[in-house]
Amino acid sequence: MLSTTSQVKVDPRDAKLSMAHFYVAFIALAIGGLMGLLQTLVRSGKFELPGGIGYYEILTVHGVLLGLVLTTFFIMGFQHAAVSRTAGTHSNAARRTGWIGFWVMTIGTTMAATMILMNKATVLYTFYAPLQAHWIFYAGLTFVVVGSWIDGAAQIMTYAKWRKANPGKPGPLLSFMAVVNTVLWFVCSLGVAAEVLFQLLPWSLGLVDRVNVLESRTLFWYFGHPLVYFWLLPAYMCWYAVIPKIIGGKIFSDSLARLSFLLFLLFSIPVGFHHQLTEPGIDPAWKFFQVILTFLVVIPSLMTAFSMFATFESAGRAKGAEGLFGWIKKLPWGDARFTVPFIGMAAFIPAGAGGIVNASNQMDQVVHNTIWITGHFHLTLATSVVLTFFGISYWLIPHLTGRKLSKAMNKLAIIQAWVWLTGMTFMSGSMHAEGLLGAPRRSAFSLYNGAKQAAEWIPYQIAQAIGGSILFLGIILVLIIFVNLAFFAPKGEEEFPVGETDPNAEKTPMVLENWKLWIGLTIILILFAYTIPFIDIIRDAPLGSKGFKTW
Ligand code: HAS
Ligand code: CU
């Protein structure tokens, strides 16, 4: 839905801000991806790390750079561009706020990354206590989170300005979605901020000598699950609001898209216990309640699947497609802007099914802490989300740098996505299978450690090394495309595609933009799901009890 302040091109000053985020994101991809390759090689048992570098050290670099840095910087860069494109250019104050956020995040990233590279923060991307890192690592993480709040505030400022100038109208869809994601991020990252500021930082500084481990893990997962939707929603922004334009169709329903985003806000936070189903100290009744809420948060993804099929089918039929699947032939398969995210979408069907397995208490007992889980998040995050992010970059980077996606790069981008899918089929597929055989995650078990059961895992570990090598080739390809689009592609105008709503769709009801209502409901649900179990955790495992001593 185009508004009066929406413009066809992102203002060059805002474009610079977005691009700054993308440079950091793609540097993180390069380094983090290399570490991933090394991990699969070590696990295959055919390779040892040189110079006394530890497996867990590179695993930490990989997880932090790809899971936390690449994602946060890419998302903030994309959302700045989306808001500026659809709600109007940032005011100087908003843009300044955005830059402050960017620099605070970048300083924090540098602090954390330096500590990891010095082997002083080998605590993996979840930094669970009692693993302890240097205090500079935790301070760096705090900077990243606070920086992202400032960055997000800039986006809200521009959206609020639009609302003020257009009373009674629903905000532009892409801006609305960016704001929901930012609000989700604010609310959930309070959990990790509390964990770091009140527990891990004082403990690493020696101010307290123990932490309540269960409390820290609970605060972490209060944040950790919505974190995965903070990653997913920008991909959904592209699927709902960008893809319809690229395929020459219409957004199936503006209201359905907004409702699904709001459902994510409501249900993605009070579900963290589904990561703690095997942990003692949490009453099973509360675990059960949060599992039910987890199944509720599957609904907006099912709505998304429905909506995407409807968009594809109606676009195809409008172009004369017939029969049940005739529309498939009418999709623009030669266009990387469509095909790359589409491959991500297709991967989300098995990926989501795996998530439902994880969420089912009994089945989680089989897969929890096995490498199945690693397989799960390489399909969700590292395939569906990341391929969509790549697909976005292929038009957004040239749009921001005043260049064009050339035919050659378009072709390379499609090849890249197929390479990625092939590599991930080997890697994630074999991780799922090996997990069912009981192979643990986060471990460097391999041929030479002589573990008895390991024999039946070996073929899968070799398949992972093959997949990891193919994926690394995929990373090299995406970096070539990124550098080309940022610095060398022919000058020109690349479109920032924004879909329009189907004229037959119902009018968007304003209740969907009643922030007091939605944020209020979110808080009520969180309080309901967490208050009593959290009191139990503090009361029954008080700070300093022997069981939770640091060691
Ligand atoms: Fe998950 C663990 C449950 C989604 C990421 N998850 C993780 C971890 C990560 C992660 C990183 O309940 C590991 C954390 C750690 O280190 O310990 N996950 C779920 C559920 C969903 C889910 C129920 N996860 C995600 C997404 C992620 C992500 C998205 C990243 C972006 N996950 C869990 C649980 C655990 C867990 C437990 C803990 C397990 C344990 O034991 O530790 C759902 O949101 C999934 C819903 C998705 C669907 C699919 C809809 C399909 C669509 C595509 C349509 C396709 C089209 C194309 C139109 C229902 C929208 C058509 C094409 C054709 C070719 C036909
Ligand atoms: Cu989760």
- pLDDT at residue number 321: 86
Region 310-320: mean pLDDT is 93
For the chain, the structural domain boundaries read 12-319+334-443+451-501+510-546
What residues form DSSP beta bridges with 501?
Answer: 251
- pLDDT at residue number 453: 60
- Per residue in 534-548, pLDDT (tens digit) is 998 888 765 544 444
Regarding the beta carbon of 373 and ligand 1, being less than 6 Å apart is answered yes
Long-range Cβ contacts of 284-289 (<8 Å, 24+ apart): 286/529, 286/532, 286/533, 287/361, 288/361, 289/529
| Among 123, 279, 268, 103, residue whose Cα is nearest residue 196 | 123
Round the CA-based radius of gyration of the chain to a whole number and report it. Answer: 23
265 Cα to the center of ligand 2, angstroms = 14
Residue-wise over 48-58: b if at least 16 C-beta within 10 A, else e?
A: eeeeeeebbbb
- pLDDT at residue number 383: 98
- pLDDT at residue number 506: 79
Cβ(548)–Cβ(213) under 8 Å?
Answer: yes
Cβ(260)–Cβ(232) under 8 Å?
Answer: no
* Model confidence at 61: pLDDT above 60: yes
- Per residue in 418-445, pLDDT (tens digit) is 999 999 999 999 999 999 998 989 887 5
User: How would residue 296 be classed by pLDDT, with cut points 50, 70 and 90?
Assistant: very high
Cα separation, 177 vs 325, whole angstroms: 30
Ion ligand 2: residue ranges with CB closer than 5 A? 225
pTM: 0.95
Regarding the beta carbon of 348 and ligand 1, being less than 6 Å apart is answered yes
Ligand 1, pocket-test mutation among 70, 124, 373, 389, most atoms within 8 A of CB: 373
- pLDDT at residue number 195: 97
Residue ranges of the alpha helices (H) in 44-70? Answer: 55-62
Cβ(62)–Cβ(35) under 8 Å?
Answer: yes
Of 63-67, 442-446, 490-494, the range with the lowest mean pLDDT is: 442-446
**Residues with Cβ within 8 Å of residue 360, at least 6 apart in sequence:** 291
224 Cα to the center of ligand 2, angstroms = 7
In the numeric block, the tokens 């985003």 are attached to: 261
Region 36-45: mean pLDDT is 87
Asked if 225 is an active-site residue, the reply is yes
Query: Of 368, 376, 399, 432, which is the active-site residue?
Result: 376
What residues form DSSP beta bridges with 403?
Answer: 491
Asked if 21 is an active-site residue, the reply is no
* Model confidence at 297: pLDDT above 70: yes
- pLDDT at residue number 465: 92
Regarding the beta carbon of 325 and ligand 1, being less than 6 Å apart is answered no
* Model confidence at 5: pLDDT above 80: no
Which one is predicted more confidently, 502 or 486?
A: 486
What tokens were used for 546?
């022997």
- pLDDT at residue number 508: 87
Cα separation, 475 vs 464, whole angstroms: 16
* Model confidence at 338: pLDDT above 80: yes
- pLDDT at residue number 2: 41
| Closest CA to ligand 1's atom 62 | 346
Average pLDDT, the chain: 93
51 Cα to the center of ligand 2, angstroms = 36
Query: Of 90, 225, 258, 368, which is the active-site residue?
Result: 225
First-to-final CA distance of the chain = 57
Query: Of 23, 198, 295, 442, which is the active-site residue?
Result: 442
Asked if 442 is an active-site residue, the reply is yes
Topology of domain 12-319+334-443+451-501+510-546 in CATH is Cytochrome C Oxidase; Chain A (1.20.210)
Cα separation, 539 vs 536, whole angstroms: 5
354 Cα to the center of ligand 1, angstroms = 7
Regarding the beta carbon of 398 and ligand 1, being less than 6 Å apart is answered no
What tokens were used for 334?
């030669």
Of 183-192, 318-327, 516-525, the range with the lowest mean pLDDT is: 318-327
* Model confidence at 550: pLDDT above 50: no
Regarding the beta carbon of 274 and ligand 1, being less than 6 Å apart is answered yes
Regarding the beta carbon of 385 and ligand 1, being less than 6 Å apart is answered yes
- pLDDT at residue number 505: 77
Of 44-58, 98-112, 131-145, 185-199, the range with the lowest mean pLDDT is: 44-58
Residue-wise over 186-206: b if at least 16 C-beta within 10 A, else e?
A: bbbbbbbbbbbeebbbbbbee
Query: Of 80, 134, 378, 403, which is the active-site residue?
Result: 378
In the numeric block, the tokens 């082997």 are attached to: 119
Cβ(281)–Cβ(212) under 8 Å?
Answer: no
* Maximum alpha-carbon separation in the chain: 71
Of 35-39, 352-356, 374-378, the range with the lowest mean pLDDT is: 35-39
**Residues with Cβ within 8 Å of residue 500, at least 6 apart in sequence:** 1, 2, 244, 245, 250, 251
The three state secondary structure string of 266-332 is HHCCCCHHHHCCCCCCCCHHHHHHHHHHHHHHHHHHHHHHHHHHHHHHHHHHHCCCCCCCHHHHHCC
* Model confidence at 3: pLDDT above 70: no
* Model confidence at 551: pLDDT above 70: no
Region 144-153: mean pLDDT is 97
What tokens were used for 94?
């908003």
In the numeric block, the tokens 């589904």 are attached to: 274
- pLDDT at residue number 450: 54
In the numeric block, the tokens 């995210």 are attached to: 341
The fraction of the chain above a pLDDT of 90, given in percent, is 85
| Closest CA to ligand 1's atom 38 | 275
| Among 477, 476, 463, residue whose Cα is nearest residue 428 | 463
Regarding the beta carbon of 89 and ligand 1, being less than 6 Å apart is answered no
Cα separation, 149 vs 393, whole angstroms: 23
Regarding the beta carbon of 290 and ligand 1, being less than 6 Å apart is answered no
Asked if 376 is an active-site residue, the reply is yes
204 Cα to the center of ligand 1, angstroms = 33
Cβ(289)–Cβ(276) under 8 Å?
Answer: no
CB atoms within 10 A of CB 518: 19
In the numeric block, the tokens 């008895």 are attached to: 452
CB atoms within 10 A of CB 458: 16
Q: What are residue 355's phi and psi, to 5 degrees?
A: -60, -40
Of 33-42, 147-156, 393-402, the range with the lowest mean pLDDT is: 33-42
- In 270-402 the beta strands, taken as DSSP E runs, fall at none
Which one is predicted more confidently, 334 or 438?
A: 334
| Among 325, 254, 216, residue whose Cα is nearest residue 543 | 216
User: How would residue 549 be classed by pLDDT, with cut points 50, 70 and 90?
Assistant: very low
Asked if 229 is an active-site residue, the reply is yes
CB atoms within 10 A of CB 500: 15
